[in-house]
Amino acid sequence: MATIRHEIAIDAPPQHIWDVLRDIGAVHERLLPGRVADTTLDGEHRILTFPDGHRIRERIVSVDDDLRRLAYSVIEGARPALTHHHASFEVRETDSRTGRLIWTTDLLPDERASEVRIRIEYGAAEMKRAIEAAAVPGASPGAAGVSGTV
């Protein structure tokens, strides 16, 4: 099983970073505006709809406020197609004004890892822009988004 771990520094208070990540029903508004067109919650599932109409169904495994950790699994609609996917986001404090986002993903088949890594790196950079923009009073996080899919 391939594992991808990506860390990115974010110039925003760690609690703000976590507030955005843990808001599981607002991905389209707070985390990936422009990239995700809509987010729907259905019990333990989250459905992300992209501007091209493609939908991804995820199972929300855990939202842990103490650890600032969100775990989820893509169970339908992964691009590229995967037979297994499990990922987590963790927010670590650098200092009171900055944090690190750690995105760890386990997937099968292993051959998809390089393509998924590129999508993760690109997606993390988009998340960073949206989170940092929203941390600045009066900034519009929607300006940070770019169309496409993770």
| Residue ranges of domains in the chain, CATH in brackets | 2-135 (3.30.530.20)
Q: What is the pLDDT of residue 144?
A: 42
* Distance in angstroms (rounded) separating the CA atoms of residues 79 and 42: 21
Residue appearing with tokens 């499990």: 86
Q: What is the pLDDT of residue 72?
A: 98
Least confidently predicted of 23-32, 61-70, 79-88, 139-148: 139-148
Asked if residue 141 has a cis previous peptide bond (ω within 30° of 0), the answer is no
pTM score: 0.89
* Distance in angstroms (rounded) separating the CA atoms of residues 107 and 138: 39
Q: What is the pLDDT of residue 138?
A: 59
Whether the CB-CB separation of 130 and 37 falls below 8 Å is answered with no
pLDDT confidence band for 57 (50 / 70 / 90): very high
Q: What is the pLDDT of residue 8?
A: 98
Q: Using the 8-state DSSP alphabet, how is residue 40 labeled?
A: E
Cβ of 29: how many Cβ atoms within 10 Å? 17
* Distance in angstroms (rounded) separating the CA atoms of residues 119 and 143: 20
pLDDT confidence band for 143 (50 / 70 / 90): very low
* Distance in angstroms (rounded) separating the CA atoms of residues 26 and 52: 18
* Distance in angstroms (rounded) separating the CA atoms of residues 59 and 45: 4
Sign of CA dihedral 126, 78, 3, 25: positive
3-state secondary structure of 98: strand
| Helix-, strand-, coil-residue percentages of the chain, each rounded to 5 | 30, 40, 30
